[in-house]
Every structure is written in structure tokens, then in C-alpha cells.
Amino acid sequence: MTPTDQTLPAERDHHTGPLLEIRNLSVRYLTEAGEVPACDDVTLTVRRGEILGIAGESASGKSTLLTALLRLQRTPAVTSGGEVIFHRGGGRPPVDLVRLDERAMSPLRWSDLSIVMQSAMACLNPVMRLRAQFADVITLKNPTMTRGQVDERITELLRMVGIAPDYATAYPHQLSGGMRQRSLIALALACDPDLVVMDEPTTAVDVVMQRTILDQVLALQERLGFAIIMVTHDLSLLLEISDRIAIMYGGRVVEVGDAAEIYAHPRHPYTQGLRNAFPPLSEPVRRLTGISGTPPNLLNLPVGCAFAPRCPHAQDDCLALRPELRTMPTTGAGEPGLAACLHPLDRDETRRQDEDAARPDAVAVDSEALLASTMEGAQR
Ligand SMILES: Nc1ncnc2c1ncn2[C@@H]1O[C@H](COP(=O)(O)OP(=O)(O)OP(=O)(O)O)[C@@H](O)[C@H]1O
Ligand SMILES: [Mg+2]
């Protein structure tokens, strides 16, 4: 096989079929204090070539879900139910990743699915030069490549993420934080996977570098057509780059749908709270508000909706019944989203609130009030 055969295709068809179907996936941590249902009955689909964003406060189960998908979870995590159907490329039959034994799972990592973690330093081997680390991954899928072919491929991958090929001979500590993070992204793309899972890939770098890295990822994704599951705390950013968004709270998906639709019309009060805590993507500027209170203790979840104790719209039934995800009626042309809420928000009410929050006097108010409400919630 020539190096040219190994290069990533310049254009790949963007299909709309499912790539990954996560069905009722549950992951628990078996701790001395009890079972922590960190990922509870999660059902989500990732389509070929799309970007699915996942947002939620800390401890909502995002990383647990991602590591379970790649079967990288460690004790005391246990996948206690559900399936993850992966539709492999190349005419191979679909597989359930939950049920594959490690011998069958291992070849899929890097080649078909790869992951970019938050901390590049923890993922790169500090005592190996980049070249050796890249060569290990490249030759997993292409064991017959010659040294020259491997080097050509490393040069190509480094260039793809804006790193001069000379750095192949560097150790990780000789790179800046941004370069390390970009190396991880290049490594994740080394075997041309269909899905790249990114867990807060840019939180360890400054905002300018964050933007540069994300722009590079988007350009590569557009050119090469791989699908991405992207987790980041920055909901505005996620909404900007994702095709669809899933919102997690207390280990469950509470809303999922088209990114633009969710931004314009969040159905779940938690989604609305997250959205209103970040500056809007474009004008008009509106007042930011926090979400009062703190995320639930997963060892002691309330009987009803886990968000009810913090929800400004909660009614009596919310405290008694746990809502399931259900299809929301849509007035737009887009595909209807799903929300797990007994009393989903009304589109007109959201529009009125947005207009109200965008009034100049409202915007001029109060970072202080925002801080006060957040502190009050944290003390509750
Ligand atoms: N090794 C572990 N043992 C016990 N509980 C754990 C373990 N790892 C995570 N958890 C619990 O699982 C829940 C979900 O954690 P997870 O790391 O998946 O959240 P997250 O949404 O990724 O948060 P963050 O945004 O802070 O990264 C949390 O309540 C956490 O305390
Ligand atoms: Mg996490």
C-alpha cells in the first residue's frame, strides 16, 4: 500500500444514516456508599458525519457516557444495561459495542472510533517522542507500512493540525499545551475513524487557542466527514458547532434535538437555564442568569424529576413523577426534538422572556445579581 493510499480522502460522502445507536445505556459506579447511576437509561443516535454536542453541568454523566461507549471505563464502573450498536463502514455488519469482548473491541479503537481526552499530558506518553507514539497507532491499522510511509503519514497528520513536522522528534513536554492538544487530535484521526469522541478537548488551553483548535477540527470534519460527539461546558460554543445537542442532567438525557431549534426554543427548563447562563451567540445581547441550586446527589436522587428542586416552573406532579423523554410537538419545519419534562416550556413565553432580558436596562443590570443568585443556590 502506498502512502497515497493511506491519505485521508479529500471528500467523503456525508450520509445521514445512523452510525451509533445508543439504546437504554446505563452505567453505575459500585462504591462503598452505594451504586452511583452516573449514566441512566441513555438513548441517543449519532448519524454519519454529524456533530452531536453533549452539555450539562459537572457530574451530569458526560464523561461516564463517553468512556462507556469506547469501553474504556475502569472499576468501579459497570455497564449495567443497554446496547450501543455501531454501524461499521466497509460493508461490515453492525456490532453491539457493549457485548464485544476486548479482543474484538480493541481493533475498533483508533481505526473506527477514537477519543480525544481533556488532558493531553495524561494521554501522551511523556517518555516517548511523538513520532513513536504516532507510529504505534498508524501501524495498528497498517502493519505492513514501511518506515518511510509511516513518516510521510505522520508529516501529513501533523500538518493537518498546523504543527510543523519537525516536532515529530519532540517529547510531549517540549510542546506547548495547544500543540499537545492538537497532537492528540491528529492522533485520533491517524487511522481515519468514522467517529471521534471529544471530551472537553480544549478546556486546558486559552480561549484564543480554543477557537483555533475548534476551527481546525471543524474544517477537518467538513473535509473528511467523520462524525463527532463533542462534550464541552460552553453551551454557546456547542450550539454554534453542533448539528444536534443532547443535554444531560443527573445521569440522564433530559433534552435532545436540532441545535438551532434547542437554542431558539429550549423545552426543558434546565436547558433554558444553561442557555441563559451563557452569552448569546449573536445580537441582541441579553441579561445572563444562573441556575440556582446545585446538581443532585446521584446516591440520593429525588423520586420525581431530578431537576424539580431547582426548577422555577416545577409543579406538584414534578416532585412525584419521573418524566421520560418524549417527542415535543414542533411548529417549525425541523425535526421534532425530545424532552423529559412534564411541563415543557412554551415557545411564545421563551420569546417574551428573551425580549425582556434583551431590554437595555435589563442588560445593564447585574452581574452582581447573577453572582448572588448562584451563591445563594450553592449555599442551599
Ligand atoms: N470512579 C468513580 N467512582 C465513583 N463515582 C464516580 C467515579 N467517576 C465518576 N463518578 C461519579 O459519576 C458522576 C458522573 O461523573 P462524570 O465524570 O461522568 O460527569 P461529567 O458530566 O463528565 O462531569 P465534568 O463536567 O465535571 O467532567 C458523578 O457524580 C461522579 O461523582
Ligand atoms: Mg467529564
C-alpha cell at 291: 441556575
Per-residue pLDDT band at 2 (split at 50, 70, 90): very low
β-pairing verdict for 195-199 and 252-258: unpaired
Question: What is the model's pLDDT at position 349?
Answer: 79
Residues with CB under 6 A from ligand 1: 29, 31, 36, 38, 56, 58-64, 76, 298
Q: Report the distance separating Cα 65 and Cα 59, nearest Å.
A: 11
Distances (CA, A) of 50 to 121, 218, 222, 335: 28, 11, 9, 15
Q: Report the distance separating Cα 193 and Cα 51, nearest Å.
A: 14
Distances (CA, A) of 354 to 287, 358, 362: 9, 6, 11
Question: What is the model's pLDDT at position 357?
Answer: 73
Give the angle 143-146-150 at the CA atoms, nearest 5°: 85
Q: Report the distance separating Cα 194 and Cα 226, nearest Å.
A: 5
Cα Rg for the chain, rounded, in angstroms? Answer: 22
pLDDT for 160-185, tens place per residue?
999 999 999 999 999 998 899 999 99
Q: How many Cβ atoms sit within 10 Å of the Cβ of residue 281?
A: 12
Q: Whose CA is nearest to atom 11 of ligand 1?
A: 38
Most confident of 141-145, 277-281, 331-335: 141-145
pLDDT at 6 over 50: no
List strands edge to edge, sheet with 252-258: 113-116, 195-199, 227-231, 51-55, 244-249, 252-258, 338-339, 326-327
3-state SS of 17-77?
CEEEEEEEEEEEEEECCEEEEEEEEEEEEEECCCEEEEECCCCCCHHHHHHHHCCCCCCCE
Question: What is the model's pLDDT at position 355?
Answer: 77
**3-state SS assignment for residue 248:** strand
Distance 249 CA to ligand 1 centre (A): 12
Q: Report the distance separating Cα 159 and Cα 171, nearest Å.
A: 17
User: Which one, of 132, 128, 129, lies nearest residue 190 by Cα?
Assistant: 132
pLDDT for 70-123, tens place per residue?
999 999 999 999 999 999 988 899 999 999 999 999 999 999 999 998 777 778
Question: What is the model's pLDDT at position 311?
Answer: 96
Question: What is the model's pLDDT at position 13?
Answer: 44
Place of cell 418524549: 326
Ion ligand 2 residue ranges (Cβ < 5 Å): 62-63
**Least distant ligand from the CA of 233:** 1
Q: How many Cβ atoms sit within 10 Å of the Cβ of residue 240?
A: 16
Contact 197, 113 (CB under 8 A): yes
**3-state SS assignment for residue 327:** strand
Percentage of the chain lying above the pLDDT 70 cut: 87
Distance between start and end Cα atoms, the chain? 63
pLDDT for 282-307, tens place per residue?
666 667 777 999 999 999 999 999 99
Distance 232 CA to ligand 2 centre (A): 9
Per-residue pLDDT band at 211 (split at 50, 70, 90): confident
**Least distant ligand from the CA of 64:** 1
Q: Whose CA is nearest to atom 27 of ligand 1?
A: 58
Residue bearing the bigger pLDDT, 353 or 261 = 261
Distance 37 CA to ligand 2 centre (A): 15
Distance 186 CA to ligand 1 centre (A): 27
Residue 39, strand partner residues: 27
Distance 63 CA to ligand 1 centre (A): 7
Spatial neighbors of 92 by CB under 8 A, at least 6 apart, are none
Question: What is the model's pLDDT at position 1?
Answer: 35
Residue bearing the bigger pLDDT, 114 or 371 = 114
Question: What is the model's pLDDT at position 333?
Answer: 63
Q: Whose CA is nearest to atom 17 of ligand 1?
A: 63
Average pLDDT for 221-225: 94
Average pLDDT for 223-248: 92
Question: What is the model's pLDDT at position 278?
Answer: 79
pLDDT at 22 over 50: yes
pLDDT at 5 over 60: no
> What ligand 1 atom has the least distance to the C-alpha of 233?
25
Question: What is the model's pLDDT at position 15?
Answer: 52
**Least distant ligand from the CA of 199:** 2
The full DSSP string for 77-115 is EEEEEEEEEE--STTPPPEETTT--HHHHGGGBTTTEEE
> What ligand 1 atom has the least distance to the C-alpha of 66?
18
pLDDT for 26-85, tens place per residue?
999 999 999 999 999 999 999 999 999 999 999 999 999 999 999 999 999 999 999 999
**Least distant ligand from the CA of 28:** 1
Question: What is the model's pLDDT at position 7?
Answer: 35
Of 94-108, 127-141, 229-243, give the lowest mean pLDDT range. 229-243
Per-residue pLDDT band at 354 (split at 50, 70, 90): confident
Distance 329 CA to ligand 2 centre (A): 32
What average pLDDT does the structure give for the chain? 88
Of 90-94, 248-252, 274-278, 333-337, give the lowest mean pLDDT range. 333-337
